[in-house]
Amino acid sequence: MVIPIKPEYESEELIMQINTKNFGIIEYNPEDVIYFEEGIPGFEDLHIFLIITDNNEDMPFKWLQSIDNTDIAFAIIDPRVFKPDYTFEIDEELIQTLQIEDVNHLLIYVIVVIPDEIEKMTANLKAPIIINAKNNKGKQVILDNDEYLIKHPILEELKNAYSNA
Amino acid sequence: MLILTRKVGQAIVIGEDIEIKILEIDDGQIKLGITAPKNISVLRKELIEIKDENLKAASVNKEALSKIENFIKKR
């Protein structure tokens, strides 16, 4: 009689792999996947993403890499790096969607656009990406705040933030 | 641009089957109720701008970003 041998380990971490256009092969733990139920505007079919850092840890930029379409990645940054007073109200709808229990669980990023003239890079402060790190649910929210621009120039503020650091 | 004045509870009709009703006015905000056929898309205008911006952002490449990181580091 053959007795199946039980694996000695209880559970091995499951590692998945994707081959991305920008970063080649990325290995990730499925637990780290961030789920955007509604996708993001313009990419409503993309639901699962990873946040990755490409290079140097002290640099403020990260990437929101799509797993559904491995060609797509967005450069993102925590807006408080260059705009420490960045703030917004969280409405009931967002609390429901992301099942927010504690605002301290929230990660906040904005998407960066870099045109050919890099001096003109902008961040979309009007529509932050908000992630509940407790359950890895994310949503791009459109704020009801006229002060924050869709194309907010950031290079000067970033340079200031880094020269003061 | 056609400009109309409406009160709460009143509505306007566009074409045969689109109705926009003023439901509530409160502290500079107006709540609208929109009745339209399923094939008519109704979006907040910002959403279209955000879509365009996301489409632009998706073509950002990492070379451009590393250029910027160098630029910041030099300071």
pLDDT of residue A75: 94
Task: State how far the Cα of A69 lies from the Cα of A107, in Å rounded to an integer.
Answer: 23
Task: State how far the Cα of A28 lies from the Cα of A48, in Å rounded to an integer.
Answer: 12
pLDDT of residue B43: 87
Low pLDDT (below 70) residues in chain B? 74-75
Q: What is the pLDDT along chain A (165 residues), one digit of tens a residue?
A: 666 666 555 556 788 999 999 889 999 999 999 999 999 999 999 999 999 987 666 778 999 999 999 999 999 999 999 999 999 999 999 999 999 999 999 999 999 998 888 889 999 999 999 999 999 999 999 998 889 999 999 988 988 888 765
pLDDT of residue A2: 66
| 8 A C-beta contact, residue A76 and residue A109 | yes
Task: List, as ranges, residues 34-53 from A with C-beta within 8 Å of B.
Answer: 40-43
3-state SS, residue A96: helix
ipTM, two decimals, is 0.87
| 8 A C-beta contact, residue B31 and residue B24 | yes
**What global pTM score does this model have?**
0.84
Beta carbons of B46 and A163 less than 8 Å apart: no
Beta-carbon contacts below 8 Å between A and B = 89
pLDDT of residue A5: 64
In A, minimum Cα distance to B67 occurs at A118
Cβ-nearest to A163 among B46, B58, B75: B75
Q: Which of A2, A9, A161, A1 is nearest to A83 (CA)?
A: A161
- b/e string for A52-88 if b means 16 or more Cβ within 10 A? bebeeeebbbbbbbbbeebebbbbbbbbebbbeebeb
B61–chain A nearest CA distance, Å = 7
CA distance from start to end of chain B: 50
pLDDT of residue A14: 84
Beta carbons of A61 and B53 less than 8 Å apart: no
Mutation target for A interface from B60, B61, B73: give the one with most A CBs within 10 A: B60
Chain A partners within 8 Å of B26 (Cβ): none
Beta carbons of A150 and B49 less than 8 Å apart: yes
A42–chain B nearest CA distance, Å = 5
Task: State how far the Cα of A103 lies from the Cα of A90, in Å rounded to an integer.
Answer: 9
Task: List, as ranges, residues 51-70 from B with C-beta within 8 Å of A.
Answer: 51-58, 60-62, 64-69
Task: List, as ranges, residues 125-154 from A with C-beta within 8 Å of B.
Answer: 126-127, 140, 142, 150-151
